[in-house]
Homo-oligomer: A and B are copies of this chain.
Amino acid sequence: MRVLGVDPGLTRCGLGVVDVAANRTATLVGVGVVGSSHELTLDARLLVIAEAIDQWLDAFKPEVLAIERVFAQTNVSTVMGVAQVSGVVMVAAARRGIPVAMHTPSEVKAAVTGNGRADKTLVTAMVTRLLRLSEPPRPADAADALALAIAHAWRSGNSFSKDPQGPTAAQKLWREAETKSKVKKNKEKPAPKWN
């Protein structure tokens, strides 16, 4: 399953494409951040992002687009821009018949780290590990988009839970990490030796 994860934002919009196999193994396909300058008008900023999303959808042809579910309760100064970007992103997928899935940040963190309140450092460390990368993905703020893509594939996969082979290496790794992050109460730092 190929998923494009989008972490919407006007100033920086994170994009991450991941292929997730039936055995839950996730592979990095593409990662990036599209930003728009504060000096542009709002409609021009949204257009910059819309055109980038169009390019990513056409280049990577994801089966699903996963996007962060936006809440009005969060940071009021940025939430409107985030919502406007998310609307633009969703329409780009809908125009191509690509289904859109929404997940909350805590759902993503729980899926990837086992802790719905994991900090950014832990999320990045787990994304790096799960994608078998030798170093954290760059740009750094695209890690959330990759986490979203991985989380979507894992959360949506009924097929995974019916796997007759039992847990795969990736599943074991995940469960182990889940336990670890719970035990350490989310205070751990990413350890370079993980890779």
A interface residues (Cβ-Cβ under 8 A, vs B):
41-44, 46-47, 50, 70-73, 76-77, 79-80, 83-88, 90-91, 93-95, 99-100, 102
Contacts and interface: CB of A to CB of B under 8 A. Distances in A.
Contacts of A43: 90-91, 93-94, 99-100
Contact of A84 (B77, B87, B95): B87
Q: Which of A47, A70, A86, A94 has the most CB of B within 10 A?
A: A94
A150 B76 CA distance: 30
B87 A41 contact: no
A91 B41 contact: no
B80 A90 contact: no
A94 B94 CA distance: 19
Number of copies: 2
A79 B44 CA distance: 22
Contacts of A70: 80
B72 A102 contact: no
B84 A90 contact: yes
Contacts of A50: 91, 94-95
B91 A80 contact: no
Contact of A87 (B86, B93, B99): B86
A97 to B, nearest CB: 10
A79 B100 CA distance: 20
